[in-house]
Structures are given as structure tokens and as C-alpha cells.
Structure 1
Amino acid sequence: MERRLAAVLAFDMVGYSRLMGADERGTLAAQRRHRRRLFNPRAGQYHGRIFKFTGDGALIEFASVVDSVCFAVEMQLALREENAEVPEDRQYRYRIGINIGDIIPDDGDVFGDGVNVAARLQELADPGGICLSGSAFEQVRGKLDLIFEHLGEKQVKNIAEPVTVYRVLLDDKAAALATPIAPETSAVLTSRNKAAVTVAFLLLAVAGAALWWQPWTLTQPSKQTERFAYPLPDKPSIAVLPFINVSGDTQHDHLAEGLTDDLITELSKVSGLFVIARHSVFAVQATDGKIQDVAAELGVHYVLEGTLQRATSRLRINVKLIDALTGLSLWAERYDRQYTDLFAVQDDVISKIISALAVKLSEGERDQLARIPTDNLEAYDYFLRAEQEGFLYSDVETYRRTLSYYQKAIDLDPGFADAHAGIARIAVDVWRNDYNYLWSAAVARKIAYDAAGQALKLDPNNARAHTVLALLQLVDGRGAEARDSANRAVAAQPSDAEAFGNLALILAHTGSREQAVTEMDKALRLDPSPPPSFQLLAGVVFYTAHENGRAIPLIESARDALPNVEPAREYLAAAYVDQGDQKRGEQEALELLKLFPDSNLTYYGYLYDYWRKDDLSHHLTGLRAAGVPEWPFGFKGAESDQVGGTELRSFVTDKTWTGRHKNGTEFIQYFDKAGNTAYRSANTNITGIIEVRDNRLCEKFTGYFLDRMVCGYVYRNTSQEQRDAEYVHVTPRALMYFSLGQ
């Protein structure tokens, strides 16, 4: 039995029996007139198929709910105009119901719940009115400039579950949608006319064939693109709008989002396409704009939209490629497959898009598109859940949940390269941002290297894995290798905003400021409504390139969205001061110190030791002017109280320190005679090595602070704080009060 997903419109004449009793001939004539002048041509205009005329109405199948609503509005407005001068008891009016759901074609007719619900919805409509199901409403929300009134849930005859109902208001907005019906052409042609038509057709066919090799250049008149937020790229540009889950079960939302993500990712691998990033299409979809408004906001020529419905092992997908300049559909398809055929559906959609836009693929691109990410759909499901959690500047629980999803995917399919790359992406951010509340620096660094390496072993063109490798190499001080890896990421996925953004960051930190700005501009064009984490990344790039005018608005936006993320406050403090706004710089520094009371210039000097010297000096100068102290908690020790030389060496030779941190945490630290040390507190138990360099005590704890050897000082405690402690030890990471013991 064949099934497919479709929009079904049902309508019937109001008071049909009464009208027939009063004027049988006039009623039948009105029906014929409506069919000939209204129903048939309007259905053709909106790609509808009338599959059944009943005695007093009809059932029509549409590939698009938007088309069905346009048909319904046009029909009711035309009938309203016809009835304007007719007494109410002699008016011919219809009720309309629209639903999207399963239909079963059978010998020219159509059956199924999709039809039954549409028929019940038309019974709920007012005379001359239109009612939609909830699933149909979700398809048109934001795509038509109409007002929909929510009527709640209704129990309808022979349908087990209540149906959510919306009513279309036929007001001035609806009237503005009205379009003329194309005039009918004569059915009779003379021989000369036939010849002329044949010649014209052949000429058009030849011209069309010549132009088809670059279809995106066919319609770019200035008036159509005047309102576009950006100039159209010089190659086919496309936005894949979020697929809508019409299953009626929100548990399948991640599947619809995952299909959207995968199509964006796969299309981004094609160098001949320009593909808008995920966050921007989800953000613009939330503004409820029409297709052409969405395209104008994103600056793209084409838009792909679709729906997804999962029922047990079945998957139904509707998809349509729209030319946003003309509003016409270039290609549409329905898929009714087993869930196990999901990747085959994706492949078909991608190939149809590439074919419709006449994009030429390189051999490498063909190979990449032919790759199946995993043949284990349960693993794929966990991967989709991980991707929707996010990974940049997340809280600990979100990180852990995301990691658990990636790991479950790997457990089910160890060869799933994208899942390994996902773990690597989290690990590298934990490491380079010194988030040791999740992993120690050494552990995070090793996980990042290992996971990225495994991903590239499985898929040498995995863009995210190359990006992770680039970030690792940058922080390790291997700038040339970092550039190479970042460029490989861009080559693997030429429309990936993340790849371009990270390339820009690496270029900025290795001295190529102008090129960094160029690459970040490309990233922001691909992702014009980026998430806060990406806004912060872009702001850092512009700040490093000394373009504060562009950096500050981006970092401000990131700060407002992520108020507890320290780097946003840090960079704003320095950028404001550099721009001459001392007051705002000082305010951001105060907020930074509230979030991270240990903030100090010595810490940042070690954390960013892979930066170029002039960039680091510039940053520290700005932070110092904003009020960030040299040492934790603004500690300033008097030189006369400093312990150094032989005395300091005696403090760290076969000695034990006991005391408290500034925050009250108790600790004990032991030093042996060979330069080894062991530190213990309620939450930490670590070992490391020490050196005395002049009057500085330098320590390195494996797995902490990027495995850097960091240096501090020891002073006699002459302050009023923790007066039972004899000494103060200040390091870039802590302020500790202690006394000596054996």
C-alpha cells in the first residue's frame, strides 16, 4: 500500500440542500461556473490536484500547505466579491478545511487520515471561512502575511485524538495576497499560429539550454535584489530552512533539526555553492518571515524548505527548492521511506539540488558526498542530540551531557568520525580556556589530540577535526602548522563559517591581521546571525587586528547573551580603554573581577604566552589601564618582606607548608629534596616539580594551567589577614597564606 505525506484541502457548499430546493438549475449553474472560473484555474495556479468532486464540494491535494492556503484565501475572497450584491439567502458560500497528513492513493482516489481530518475541519469552518489543523499551521507560520486565530483543540467525528484548530482571518492582509488568474488561451490555433508557436518554443528551448548552465544568473534584476541585506554571491547561494517536524511528537524534533544540519554540512562541502550556516537559518526562521523575506535577510537566491514525519519505522519527508527571486519552485519531492533509508534520502536531496543549480563537482567532492557518516542509526541519533546541545562556553552539565551523547555514538560505531571530532572540539576548548573543572589541562589536551587524530584517520577531510588540530598547534606555539591545518579545514568545507572563523583567529595571532579580517568577513557572511560564542570569536579577531569599532559591538552582544563568560568582560575592558572609553573599561574590569576574583595580569601573561609579543603587550596594557591587578586579589608585596635566595631554597627543601588560600580553602604542600612537590586540599591532590629562579618560586603541576611552569613570590605576612600565617605565597593562580613545618 503506497502512502505519502500531502496537504489536503476539503471544501463544500454551505446550505447545499436548501439552495437546490430553492433553485436547482441556478445552483448547478453556479457550481459549474465556480469549477470553470475559480476552482480549476486556481488549483492549477497553486499546483493542486482535484482528486474528487463531491455533490457539494471537492477534495484537492497540494504538495505544499502554503499553496493550499493561498488557494483557499483566493477562493474565498473571489466568492466574497461575487456575493457582495446578492441577498444573503441566495449567496453561494463554501467552508474550507486544510490538513497535512498521510494519504493513500487508490485508483485515482485518495484516502487516509489526512483526508478525514481535512473533511472534519471544513465542518468547523464558518460559512466563507478557512480552518487549518495545527500541523498545517506550523507549515505556514511565518511564510504568509496572514493572521491566524487559535481555536483550541476540538474533538471531531471518527478521529480518536483531539485536533488543534486555527482559523484564517480574511482581512486586509488576506486581500493583499490576491493575484490575478492568467487569462485562458483559445483552444483553436491556425496553421500559421501553430508554426509560430513551434518556432518560438524551439527558440526558447535553445536559449534555455544555453542559460541552464548558470541558472542562478537568469533572474537578478536590480529591483528584486534592492531589498537584499547583502549582494548575492557570484555562485549559487542557498539557505536550508529548518525542517518542520509534523509527527505530532516533539521527541522527533532533533531528527528534523539533524536532517537540516546534515544537509547544510554536506552542501557546505561543495565549493560551487554558497551555503548559509545553521544558526543563522534557525534564527531567521524564528522571525516568522516569508520565504522571500528570509532570502532577502540572508542574501541568498535559493531556499530549501521541508517537513519530516516519523511514524514507527516509516519516514516521510517533503522537500522543495524555491527560487526566492521569482517565488517559483524549481524542484519538489516527496519521500515515503523506511527510517533506515534516511541517508539515501539526504543523498537524493543533495544530488537534486546540485543538478537543479547545475553545479559541477570535483572528484574529491563527489567522494566526500558519497561518504555515509555511520551505518548505525542509533549512533547517528545520539550524534544529533549532541550537536543540538552546543559546546562553546557551556556549563559543566551541558558539556557532560554532550560528551555522553558523542561517546554513546562512538560506543555503537567506533568508526563514526564526526562523533570523534565532536569530542575533540569540546576538549580543545576546555584546554585552551583553562576550564579544569571538567578535565585537567593535560587530560583535555590529550583527549583533543587523540580524538581529532582518530577522526582524521577515519575521514582525512573532516573539517572540524582539522580545526581542532589547528587550535592545538596554535596554543602549542606551532603557528605555521596551525595555519596549514586551518586552511585544510576551509578546503574540506568551503561554506563552513566555523572553519573560516578559526582560520581568522589563527591568522590574527600569527601576524596576518588584514587577511584575518578578510577571512572573518567571509565567516560572518556565511553566518550573518551568528550565535553568541561565534560573535565573541569574531570580536576577538577584530580586537586582535586593532579594529575596535567592529570588535566592540560583537563582544557586547556576546556579553549580553553570556553574562557569566569571563573572556567577554576581559576583552571588552581592554577594548574600551584602547578606544578611549576609560569609564566603561573600568566597569567591565570590575565585572570581570566579580566573576573571576583571581583575575590578574600575570595569569593572562602565562595563559596567552603563544600570542605575538606586541599583541600580548597591547592586551595587558589595556587590562592594566582598566584596573586589572598584577597579581590575584590585587596583592602587592613589599620588597623588604620578600623571601629569596638561600632562604627561599630552604623553604622548599624537605619542608611542609600548611595554611589557607585567600578564599579560606585549607591546604598542605610538601617539598622534597629533589625538587618535587605534592599539594593537597579538600578538592585537589596533585604532584609537580619546582625550581627557584632568583627570588621566584616556579612550579609546574602536570595537567594544570596548560602544563606551564609558572612563577611567583614568597613574602613575610605583615598584613592584617590570616595573622596566624607566617608567610604569603602569590602565584598567577592563587594567593596562599602558610606557615612552615617539618
Structure 2
Amino acid sequence: MERKLAAILAADVVGYSKLMAADEAGTLAALKAHRKDLFNPETERHGGRIVKLMGDGVLVEFPSVVDAVECAIAIQQALIRDDSQIKLRIGVNLGDVIIEGDDIYGDGVNLAARLEALANVGGVCISDIVYQSVHSKLSARFEDMGKQELKNFPEPIRTYRISDIAAEPLVPAAGQPSSQDKPSIAVLAFNNMSGDPEQEYFSDGISEDIITELSRFQELFVIARNSSFSYKGKSTKVQEIGKDLGATYIVEGSVRKSGKRLRISVQLIEAATGNHIWAERYDRELEDMFELQDEITQTIVTVLPLRLQGALVAYSRKKPSESLSAYECFLRAQQLYDHTSSNAREALEQLATATRIDPNFAQAFALTAYVHAYSVFTLSPIGNDPTIAARKYIQRALTLGEGDHYVHAMACEVFMVCGEHDLAQIHSDKALALNPNEIFALLEKGVLLNYSGKSKEAVEHLIKALAHDPLAPDYQFEALAEANYMLGNYEEAIRIYKRWRDPPVHMYSHLAACYAQLGQMKESRQAAALFEDGRPKDSDFTFYAKAHARLCKRPEDAEHWLEGYRKAGLIG
């Protein structure tokens, strides 16, 4: 058995099946011309040998790994420059191969194929050994993708992409991450498992509604229905679907009807690996079909982006800071910021990096404004008056992202902290008009209702919003506890506050106020002691209490909170 060390280039045509279905003769002619006029000459010029053609794929070996990478870059740049119908993904590896006649095979070849699947549309992905061999010899910029779990490889493989090759030469909308940064997602037609063809409209309707509602999330690139539904009834692997559609993530599901019961299953899958990121099952009584369809759709699209964001954060944490994109810095800031003072400044550093990389990133400016505004409640305010910086950053965000639901939801909170409830209401309405499924916008509406004197309505709204996500983090229940306090439901507020596993220190002041209102002074003193022990030594609770009172539109509601703090002995 003969072996040798070789540089292997694996290339594959993106969306080949779809191109063939649309125009078989035209696609074959374009592919033939591409190989004759570009791929074959560039391969020969760089000293490569085409080992074999595999329909839409090709395998090439090179004696030099530098030549292999240079060839990959030259081909992709030419395709982008010529705006070719043919678009490729390319993977390059350096490894041991087994020779059998004119063919080669082995782990070195298999890894090149796996790398090709990880590449962006129009991009090049390389292994760590290739990076170590070429990064000091080529002027290209390399982006560390971290260690990747690859099929049939027992250990994670560190991979890199060449970051100065445009994946798709698209201009991003003002204030939004580029399409390269945005996660792309395809929602497949849900399988009708009922054995009743008449139920097909229901399973298709759920999928179509999810596509429509996910499209409201400007941070997602959602594949169109016509493309994702082309796989209906076919047993195509998700990896292949992801490659064809250029999708990073796949949503698939099924609908099963039994008597008057309906079971809907949904999964979020990483396309490149086939790994399941999230799965859920919904069992419902079948009464009003269309009402049920709306309920299930809203539940899925409220939770799914949160689970997707968790996967993206986990991915970005594998990468060194200097390789992060603006969007990934933004994700890190979201993950870092836990509504306390401890990580606020580190989150702001990540956001500053994001806006330095992309000065038109509206969501990053909006979160910067929110962190400044909310710092009035952390007992470590950022500056003498955090609302000044908060106003500046939110105005910048609104200028850049007038059509962004996230920006308007953040603006709602900022203007509430500033005591401008009418302005907050305008932005709350805009956020939910743009995206009625975004959990932060839904929660902000509840906060605004509560502090506008509509606490009973706030409780009803918040319970309904939180019901969509059984795994909601503890801090999302803060508004519900505060609304119960405002209604005089102190026992219920206490129950909600005490569910927090690691509450921010200001929560103990609220807890002390609840106990004091009930006349349970021993428990109130205990909560106040925990607050005093945990708060920063130089903090000013009077500043906090005034800021909290300013949240209230009605003077009597502001006095309700101040009364609780006075009874607990926290202010004079």
C-alpha cells in the first residue's frame, strides 16, 4: 500500500440540485464552461492534478500546500468577479493519502471534504496544519473558526476560513450585520405523520407561518419558502440541504393527529454537522385548527431564536477575540451582560469593539444605551447621570435602525428610565408592530404597562409572554415580581423573587420592601442585611430609590415603592 503526503483541495457546486431542477441543460453547460475556462486552467497553473470529478464536486491534489490555497483563492475571486452562476465551496487539507492507481483516498482526503462543507458560499476553509504552513507565506487574512466536531473524526479539528474572500457580494442594510455574519436558517416543510392527506395543509401552514415570523428577526437570514419546500417528500440529509441552500441551520418538524389530540415536534439542527441544538414537542387538544396553528407558531418563533443565539454564542466563544466579527462581539456582550454591575463594563468593551468594526451596527448601539440606562439600578451607575449617555446611544441606534424591532424595544426601556413614558410607549408599539414574537419586546411591554399604572394588565401580559419559554432565565421574571408588588400581591412577589438562584443585589431591597409591607419585619431585616452585605460600599441607595420612583408614571405608584423602602429601613 503506497502512501504520500499531499495537499488536497475538495470543491463542490452550491445548490447544484436546485440549479439542475430549474434548468438542467443550462446548468450542465455553465458547469462545463466553468471547468474549461477557469477551474482546469487555474489547477494546471498552480501545479495541481484533478484526481476525479464527482458530478458537482471535484477532488484535486497538489505537491505544494501553498499552491493549493493560492489556487482556491484565485478560483473563488474569479467567480465573484465574473458574477458567475456557478458558486463553489472549497476545503483544503494537508495530510497522508493512500494511492491506488490514479485515485487517492484516506483521512487526508476525507478531512478536505469535511472542510469544504464548512466553507461559506464562495469561501475557502482550511485545516490547522494548512494554516500553520501558509499563513506566513500568503497575504490573505485568516479567521479562526475554533475547533469543529467533524463526522468520523474522533477529536475536534481546528479550522480556519479565509476571511477576505466575499462569500456573497451583498451590501448589508444600514445598521445590520452583514449577510456573512448573520446566521442563515431554512425551515423545511413539516412532515404530516397523521396518514391523512387532508391534514397536509396544516403541517405546511405551520412551516410557512414559521418562515414568515422568523423573517421579522433582522438578525436572521431566512431562506425563502420556495427553496426550503423543494425538499418536501424527499429523504435528503440535512448536510446536503444546508450545502444546497447555503443554510447554517435547519428547522424540521412533524405533525401527528390522533383523534382530538395533536402532537407537533420541532428540531433545530446545525446543518454542517447534523447535530441537534434544540428540540421540543407540543401536545394540544384539537379544537380551533387555525387558532392552534397561530399558538404553536408563536411559541416556536419566540423560543427558537433564543436557542439559536445560545448556539452562536457557544460558537463565538471558541474563537480568539481578534478573529471576532462585529456581530460576534455583540453576541458576546449579550451573553456577558446579566443586569448587574459586575460584567457591565466588559460587555460595553465588546460593544465598543463591535461598533468600531461596524460603525452602522444599530443593535450594538441600542444595547450600549440599555446597559448605560439600566446601570442606575445596579448600584454602580456608569457616570454621574447614565441617562445622558443612554440618550446619545439610543438616538444613534434609532437613526441607523428605524426598522429594527430590537432597537425600538431597547428604546422603550431607555426612555422609561428617563421618565418619558409616552415616548417609551411609541417605541414599544413600534417594536411589537415590527415583530410581535420577540421576547424582549414582549417583556418590555409588560414593564411599561406596570409602570404606567396598569399593573393588572401587566401581570396578565407577562404570564402569557413567559409561558412561551419554560427555560426563561430568572431575570426575565423581575417585571412579573414588580407588577405583583404594585398590585399589593406581596406574597406572590416574594415567591417570584425567591426563585432566583443568584439574584442581583438590588433584588434584596425589593424583597425587604415586600416583607415590610406585610409587616414581617424579621424577614424584612434579613433581606435588608443581605442587601447591605452585597451592595458596593460606596453605593448610594437614595440615588437608586429615586431612579426607581422615576420609572413610575403615577406619583402614587412611586410613593408605593418609596413607602416599602422606608418601612424596610433602607431610606429615611
Report the TM-score when normalising by structure 1.
Answer: 0.37
Higher relative contact order (CA 8 A, sep 6+): 2
Report the TM-score when normalising by structure 2.
Answer: 0.47
Larger radius of gyration: 1
